[in-house]
Amino acid sequence: DTGVSQNPRHKITKRGQNVTFRCDPISEHNRLYWYRQTLGQGPEFLTYFQNEAQLEKSRLLSDRFSAERPKGSFSTLEIQRTEQGDSAMYLCASSLGPVGNTIYFGEGSWLTVV
Closest CA to 39 of 105, 93, 112: 112
> 12, 16, 55, 62: which one contacts another protein (CB under 8 A)?
55
* Interaction between residue 106 and another protein (CB under 8 A): yes
Give long-range contacts, CB 8 A cutoff, 24+ apart: 41-46: 43/91, 46/77, 46/90
Strand order in the sheet with 75-79: 5-7, 19-24, 75-79, 65-68
Backbone angles phi, psi at 50, to 5 degrees: -115, 115
* Interaction between residue 60 and another protein (CB under 8 A): no
CB 43, min distance to another protein, A: 5
> 77, 91, 111, 113: which one contacts another protein (CB under 8 A)?
91
> 5, 24, 26, 44: which one contacts another protein (CB under 8 A)?
44
| Residues 22 and 75 sit within 8 Å (Cβ to Cβ) | yes
* Interaction between residue 27 and another protein (CB under 8 A): no
Q: Could you give the maximum distance between any two Cα atoms of the chain, in Å?
A: 39
* Interaction between residue 33 and another protein (CB under 8 A): yes
CB 25, min distance to another protein, A: 13
Q: Would you tell me which residues interact with another protein (CB under 8 A)? A: 31, 33, 35, 40-45, 48, 50, 55-56, 89, 91, 98-100, 102-103, 105-108, 110
